Amino acid sequence: MSESNSVLIGRKPVMNYVLACITLFHGGAKEVNIKARGKAICHAIDVAEVVRRRFIPDVKIKKVNIGTDKLSLQQSESENLTNVSTIEITLER
């Protein structure tokens, strides 16, 4: 699957990301990845459920990957690493 079928979740309203997923499915995509980090994880879950339950009922959750990324804080010269949780939800039509 190409990276163009990915929706990266951020701070915008949930329905903006739902529209992006629906657009990808109507454009012919068989799978769509929903990716989020940190506080946006709850929005990613909401996006997957709204797409699946309200708009395209034949979409199934293929897999869910969770993990942790180590991010470097650029504020000081010392290497301050912080852990950030990640999620990747793959929807399949």
- What's 29's domain CATH number? 3.30.110.20
In whole angstroms, give the CA distance from residue 49 to residue 54.
8
Residue 74's CB is within 10 A of a number of other CB atoms, namely: 7
When divided into structural domains, the chain yields a total of: 1
Domain that includes residue 41, residue range = 3-92
> Given this model, what pLDDT does residue 3 score?
56
> Given this model, what pLDDT does residue 62 score?
97
Element (H, E) at 19: helix 14-26
> Given this model, what pLDDT does residue 1 score?
43
pLDDT at position 86 over 90 = yes
Predicted TM-score (pTM) of this structure:
0.87
Beta strand segments in the chain, E: 6-8, 31-37, 60-73, 80-92
Using an 8 Å Cβ cutoff, are 34 and 25 in contact?
no
Quick: pLDDT tens for 25-78. 999 999 999 999 999 999 999 999 999 999 999 999 999 999 999 988 776 656
